[in-house]
Amino acid sequence: MPDAPFSSALVARLADARRVAVLTGAGVSAESGVPTFRDPDGIWARMRPEELASVDGFLANPDLVQAWYAHRRETVGRVTPNAGHDALARLEAAVEARGGTFLVATQNVDGLHQRAGSRSVVELHGSLARQFCIACGTDADGETDGTCVACGGRVRPGVVWFGEALPPEAWDAAENAASRADVFLTVGTSAVVYPAAGLPLVAKRAGAYVAEVNPVPSDIAGALDEVVVGTSGAVLPALVDAVEAVWAGGGTNSADGR
């Protein structure tokens, strides 16, 4: 069997970790068929973020923005979690069964981690599943016609747009997990949108072993302990298999000397 793309140090650190935290981005859903944002065929190559992901864009053309999010909702409704999501859910269950803690902080709004069985998930950029009134804040159900049933105000997608604050509870949980993690994985994110992109660096400064999984090293890769070059759907199942092999007493199957 060829060498794994990750180090034996990462496998050993994960096998010993009491606290594991993971940041995910659009790349983790790419193999499910959900487009990323900044890859050459990504959403922002075709669409304008200021029109579709800002309050001003929404107020200028609410019907266009609602139609685009309805299209994205429909896309994620058609797809299923992939091997990367499944591996993170498997790792969470195993770490927790051994008495540890595990958190996925995701920038994704697609709900695929939860559908794969991950239980400790915080959604840093909100969720496509939520819609709420811009006037009174009341949640709308999926059948909304775009008008709030409570006050008649406009209903908007429950996602975080450029210039908006992250949901405070989600952010606090993510930052807390990053600052306490023994191992921190940053998976499928270009790490250019802050504050989420700062979480791996928070973890690194606090002493975690920080590894990235991405076919293209991100902007922050140079500041991390390890960059595993590959897709999450290929790397994460192999990594979790390797950790489980250590727990089973079977040693590691990974590249030596790193």
Give the residue numbers annotated as catalytic, written as ranges: 125
Which CB atom, from 236 or from 246, has the smaller least distance to ligand OAD?
Answer: 236
- Least distance to ligand OAD, CB of residue 97, Å: 26
Out of 47, 216, 247, 251, the only residue in the binding site for ligand OAD (CB under 6 A) is: 216
User: Least separation, in Å, of the C-beta of 171 and ligand OAD?
Assistant: 13
Within residues 61-100, the interface with ligand OAD by CB under 6 A covers none
The answer to whether 188 contacts ligand OAD (rule: CB under 6 A) is yes
What residues from 14 to 53 belong to the interface with ligand OAD (CB under 6 A)?
Answer: 25-28, 30-31, 36-39, 42, 53
Residues 128-167 that bind ligand OAD (CB under 6 A): 160
Task: Check residue 5 for interaction with ligand OAD (CB under 6 A).
Answer: no
**For the residues of the chain, what is the DSSP string, one character each?**
-PPPSSBHHHHHHHHH-SEEEEEE-THHHHTTT---SSSTTSHHHHS-HHHHSSHHHHHH-HHHHHHHHHHHHHHHHH----HHHHHHHHHHHHHHHTT-EEEEEE---S-HHHHHT--SEEETTEEEEEEEETTT--EE-TT--SB-TTTS-BEEEEEPPTTPPPPHHHHHHHHHHHHH-SEEEEES----STTGGGHHHHHHHTT-EEEEEESS--TTGGGSSEEEES-HHHHHHHHHHHHHHHHTT----SBTT-
The distance of closest approach from Cβ of residue 123 to ligand OAD in the complex, given in angstroms and rounded to an integer, is 10
Is residue 107 a contact point for ligand OAD (CB under 6 A)?
Answer: yes
Which residues in this chain contact ligand OAD in the complex, by CB under 6 A? 25-28, 30-31, 36-39, 42, 53, 107, 125, 160, 188-190, 193, 214-216, 218, 231-233
